[in-house]
Amino acid sequence: MPYIDTHAHLSDESFDIDRNSVIEKTLNCGIKYIFEILCSPSEWESESLFSNFFENFYFAYGIHPEYAGKFEQSSFEILKRKLSNSKTLFVGEIGLDYFWVNDNKNEQKSLLVSQLVLSKEFSKPCVFHCRNSKDSSHNAYKDTLDLLEKNWNYNAVKRGIMHSFSGSMEDAFRAIDLGLYLGINGTITYPKNSSLREIVKKVGIENIVFETDCPYLPLQSRRGTRNSSESIPEIAAQTAAFCSFSQAKTIETVYNNSLSFIK
């Protein structure tokens, strides 16, 4: 059974020295498709980095919340062009990030809402990024979910992915009710992350997809090193083991969940 990495940043400069060989190794590990996330205007021309592997790559284009207030309005015209490309699966990653900066919430929210309009206009699902402030007093999950429930009128059975899920049990079920899969990555192997393991156990394999978020978020056994899409089989194996799911059933179900976005 093959795998899909639903969230990679292989255009990152840390892959400049060996990108093609990393991708070759990844494909040899059984990863059939990679969803590459290009989430700032400066990254939107990076598809050409993957031209040797055209049939294995799909793309998300969007403006990440950390760029709120830091891009030209004309970028939206370029974004629209990117969203009409047949290799584009998602608007993303978009959302709210209160971890480093939370004094520009209105600016972040209006950037998110304007991209929800594009999701509807281009009939594309979304990849969402949410991160609470360190002490959780600024709750990006609650604000994002409130906004989606009110402002997102793109209709589909599955409307996207809540990437690198790090919210509460309540956030998880609200996301699932909105038609989102929870994106599960190497953070599920971190010793302190028992809450995520409990959530995945509860929501089950029907509601998750696997991702790496590489070069970020390596598995616990490789912390401090550059992550790559090659770690997907290990993420799948560890998730199944932690949650006492059948390995084979987990791999098959999650593959099909991810594949549902490729039309």
**CA 23, CA 27: separation in Å to the nearest integer?**
6
How many residues touch Zn ion under the rule CB under 5 A: the total is 1
Q: For Zn ion, give the closer residue by CB, 213 or 245.
A: 213
Single-letter amino acid code for the residue at 169: M
Give the interface segment with Zn ion, choosing from 146-154, 178-186, 206-214, 228-236 (CB under 5 A). Answer: 206-214
**Helix axes 232-243 and 247-259, enclosed angle (nearest 10):** 120
The binding track of 159-198 with respect to Zn ion, each residue x by CB under 5 A or -, is ----------------------------------------
Q: For Zn ion, give the closer residue by CB, 95 or 257.
A: 95
CB atoms inside a 10 Å sphere around CB 58: 20
Q: How far is the CB of 13 from Zn ion (least distance, A)?
A: 15
**CA 119, CA 124: separation in Å to the nearest integer?**
5
CB atoms inside a 10 Å sphere around CB 33: 21
Q: How far is the CB of 101 from Zn ion (least distance, A)?
A: 17
Give the interface segment with Zn ion, choosing from 100-108, 134-142, 205-213, 225-233 (CB under 5 A). Answer: 205-213
Residue 233 contacts by C-beta under 8 Å, 6 or more apart in sequence? 3, 29, 30, 31
Q: For Zn ion, give the closer residue by CB, 97 or 213.
A: 213
**CA 126, CA 89: separation in Å to the nearest integer?**
8
Q: How far is the CB of 39 from Zn ion (least distance, A)?
A: 7
The binding track of 107-146 with respect to Zn ion, each residue x by CB under 5 A or -, is ----------------------------------------
Q: For Zn ion, give the closer residue by CB, 213 or 230.
A: 213
Report 213-232 residues binding Zn ion (CB under 5 A).
213
Q: Is 161 exposed, middle or buried (0-12, 13-18, 19+ CB in 10 A)?
A: buried
Give the interface segment with Zn ion, choosing from 40-48, 133-141, 212-220, 252-260 (CB under 5 A). Answer: 212-220
Q: For Zn ion, give the closer residue by CB, 62 or 254.
A: 62
Q: For Zn ion, give the closer residue by CB, 230 or 243.
A: 230
Q: How far is the CB of 261 from Zn ion (least distance, A)?
A: 16
Give me the residues that bind Zn ion (CB under 5 A), please.
213
